């Protein structure tokens, strides 16, 4: 066969070649592209071609070679061994990695964790209790007498309520985390140093300043010779860790059934540095928690001997601390799940 015919013949074969699978493409590659391909043989024959025709034949074979390469690419694409896009767009491995977008913690979780950390450093351990609570743990063991008006201090969501005034079977959503105090005292022996974070519920109309659920952290310390001075110093330590070393506290006498004496604690206004602003209502002070010495009746309810042991307790609202830390006044924002609000806390911790 003349060289020219051979070229024609191969060209035809290449043109007619059809590939359905990756294996077909491989057959094509071995035949027309690989190291022992048939086009190479044509170059060998070129040596025997008379000088005046060498150029012409050389060009024909070169053309055949490019034709085979183009067809090879086409076949590969057709059976999907390479995708359209990766053929055009090569991966640039030197490009900086794309930013990993982290979520944000909820502001209440941030504050809760910070409160836990602060108390952990002075030996408090975390304890938790149920949100659906019986009357004993939420009220009676905390020295709320059955018909005492103090029960109305907290509007309760009842799950089971008795009509005959017998409170023992009543079940409600806990109105405060003080219920966990009782559970811890019942289940352990002093010394006790615990904080109990959690959600609490009250039957209140939702507004910027009130919500039907919110979060508290309860603190309890019971040992021999625990004094009111210990309580004050612990709370001062907390205030300075939380709001900075310039923070001060003041205690105002108050009333809670489960503590005697009881106090409400204010921290010096962190927003105006106690100079007076609309958040502290120009007093320079902000109320942050309730506290007191655990009432002997409460110790007795949990079988702890009040002649041997004494203790202090305190309870604070997490939303309130978050309001002061993040200047978020409207309570509703915490549970609306508005991403525009939540993502602002990305860098907080």
Instruction: Name the residues that contact ligand DAH, by CB under 6 A.
Output: 176, 178, 218, 256, 259, 290-292, 313-315
Angle at 287 between CA 283 and CA 292, to 5 degrees: 130
- Output the smallest distance, CB 322 to ligand DAH, in A: 17
- Output the smallest distance, CB 241 to ligand DAH, in A: 19
Question: Nearest to ligand DAH by Cβ — which residue?
Answer: 315
**Of the candidates 311, 314, 251, 256, the residue with the CA atom closest to the CA atom of residue 287:** 251
Nearer to ligand DAH by Cβ, of 107 and 198: the residue is 198
- Output the smallest distance, CB 263 to ligand DAH, in A: 8
Sheet of strand 249-256, all strands in order from the earlier edge strand to the far edge: 125-126, 192-201, 213-223, 310-317, 285-294, 259-268, 249-256
Nearer to ligand DAH by Cβ, of 256 and 285: the residue is 256
Nearer to ligand DAH by Cβ, of 134 and 218: the residue is 218
Q: Rounded to whole angstroms, how far apart are CA atoms 50 and 47?
A: 8
- Output the smallest distance, CB 248 to ligand DAH, in A: 20
Cα–Cα distances (Å) from 300 to 121, 140, 146, 185, 309, in that order, read 29, 12, 17, 10, 10
Question: For 133-168, b where at least 16 C-beta lie within 10 A, e where not — what string?
Answer: bbbbbbbbbbbbeeeeeebeebebeeeeeeeeeebe
Nearer to ligand DAH by Cβ, of 276 and 306: the residue is 306
Contact 321, 81 (CB under 8 A): no
Nearer to ligand DAH by Cβ, of 61 and 180: the residue is 180
- Output the smallest distance, CB 196 to ligand DAH, in A: 10
- Output the smallest distance, CB 153 to ligand DAH, in A: 7
Nearer to ligand DAH by Cβ, of 10 and 231: the residue is 231
- Output the smallest distance, CB 290 to ligand DAH, in A: 3
- Phi, psi dihedrals of residue 235, rounded to the nearest 5°: -75, -35
Nearer to ligand DAH by Cβ, of 107 and 292: the residue is 292
Cis ω on the peptide bond leading into residue 280 (within 30° of 0)?
no
Cα–Cα distances (Å) from 73 to 25, 69, 303, in that order, read 9, 6, 86
């Amino acid at each position: 066969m003349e060289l020219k015919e051979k070229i024609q013949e191969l060209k035809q074969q290449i043109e007619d070649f059809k590939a359905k699978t990756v294996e077909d493409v491989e057959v094509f590659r071995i035949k027309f592209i690989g190291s022992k391909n048939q086009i190479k043989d044509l170059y060998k024959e070129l040596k025997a071609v008379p000088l005046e025709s060498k150029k012409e034949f050389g060009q024909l074979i070169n053309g055949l070679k490019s034709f085979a390469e183009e067809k090879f690419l086409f076949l590969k694409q057709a059976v999907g061994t390479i995708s359209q896009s990766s053929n055009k767009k090569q991966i640039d491995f030197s490009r900086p990695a794309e930013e990993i977008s982290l979520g944000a913690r909820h502001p209440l979780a941030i504050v809760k964790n910070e409160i836990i950390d602060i108390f952990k450093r002075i030996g408090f351990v975390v304890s938790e209790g149920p949100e659906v609570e019986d009357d004993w743990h939420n009220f009676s063991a905390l020295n709320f007498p059955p018909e005492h008006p103090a029960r109305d201090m907290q509007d309760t969501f009842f799950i089971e309520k008795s009509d005959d005034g017998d409170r023992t079977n009543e079940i409600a959503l806990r109105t405060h985390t003080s219920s966990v105090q009782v559970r811890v005292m019942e289940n352990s022996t002093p010394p006790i140093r615990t904080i109990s974070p959690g959600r609490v519920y009250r039957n209140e109309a939702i507004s910027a300043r009130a919500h039907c659920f919110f979060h508290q952290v309860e603190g309890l310390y019971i040992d021999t010779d625990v004094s009111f001075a210990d309580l004050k110093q612990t709370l001062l330590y907390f205030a300075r860790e939380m709001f900075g070393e310039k923070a001060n506290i003041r205690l105002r006498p108050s009333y809670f059934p489960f503590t005697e004496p009881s106090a409400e604690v204010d921290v010096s206004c962190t927003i105006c540095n106690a100079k007076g602003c609309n958040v502290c209502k120009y007093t320079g002070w902000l109320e942050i928690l309730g506290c007191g010495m655990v009432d002997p009746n409460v110790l007795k309810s949990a079988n702890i001997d009040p002649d041997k042991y004494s203790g202090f307790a305190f309870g604070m609202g997490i939303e309130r601390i978050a309001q002061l830390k993040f200047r978020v006044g409207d309570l509703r924002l915490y549970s609306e799940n508005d991403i525009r609000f939540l993502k602002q806390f990305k860098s907080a911790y």
